Structure 1
């Protein structure tokens, strides 16, 4: 009677050991990184206003530079609508998560990003570099069109 119990016990430990070794084989070698919780954009309101101001400056300069051409105005209006859709869709998406808290940059803290902490100057320069370049491009086109006399 005791011999049968020891055989059953040995089989149970063998099965447990085998299951454990199979489980270790089935475990992934590495797991994909998990994104942090979505805390929203966390960009200050002033930054959004500056970005929109840059695009408004670009469109105004281009509208003045093209004179009164109907085709140019149509293209500018379509571009303004695309820009409004771009920022509007981002706004709608951001509002889906509920009200966003105050930006850490407004509180004098650093902004946490995927690549590390960023101070206010780094955030502003990285976010505004393209909009400022676009606005300056529009202003440059306006100055060029005003400097070159139109011969008719």
Structure 2
């Protein structure tokens, strides 16, 4: 008889322990989960604006250099749309992770890259060299066509 009561008592404490553990797992979180940090591209807004300005200068210069050629204008419009899709899809993809952190360059710090730390001048130089070259190329074509009388 005593043996039977001890088994029932052991089962009751096991049951209480299981209920307690289950209640602990079902408790709601005390605080909302923190979203993961999104470092993003870590470029200041000025870099993106300068890049877009360079491509706008290129497309404007090429459009002005080709004059009224319908085929050239069509190709330029397709190129502008392609560039808009290229940068637009990248922007949509980058925004999926939530708002980006402020750029370390805007905080007066250096940008940490795979090859080491870079200051603001080095970042601007490496990122903007190709867009600047493209803009200068477009301006050179415009100057050449205007000097020989081909353009509008």
Query: SS at the partner of 1:108?
Result: coil
Aligned to 1:106, the other structure's residue is in SS state coil
Aligned position for 1:21: none
**Hey, what's the Cα distance between the residues in 2 that align with 1:80 and 1:39?**
29
State the TM-score, normalized to the length of structure 1: 0.73
Instruction: State the 1:149 CA deviation.
Output: 2.6
Could you say which residue in structure 1 is the equivalent of 2:74? 74
Q: Match for residue 51 of structure 1?
A: 51
Runs of 4+ in 1 over 4 A off after TM superposition: none
Identify unmatched segments of 5+ residues in structure 2: 1-36
| SS at 1:105 equivalent | coil
Asked if the contact 2:38–2:99 (Cα under 8 Å) also holds between the matched residues in 1, the reply is no
Structure 1 portions without partners, runs of 5+:
1-36
Q: Secondary structure at the match of 1:117?
A: strand
* Residue number in structure 2 paired with 1:142: 142
Cα RMSD for the two superposed structures: 1.1
Q: How far has the Cα of 1:108 moved from its partner?
A: 0.8
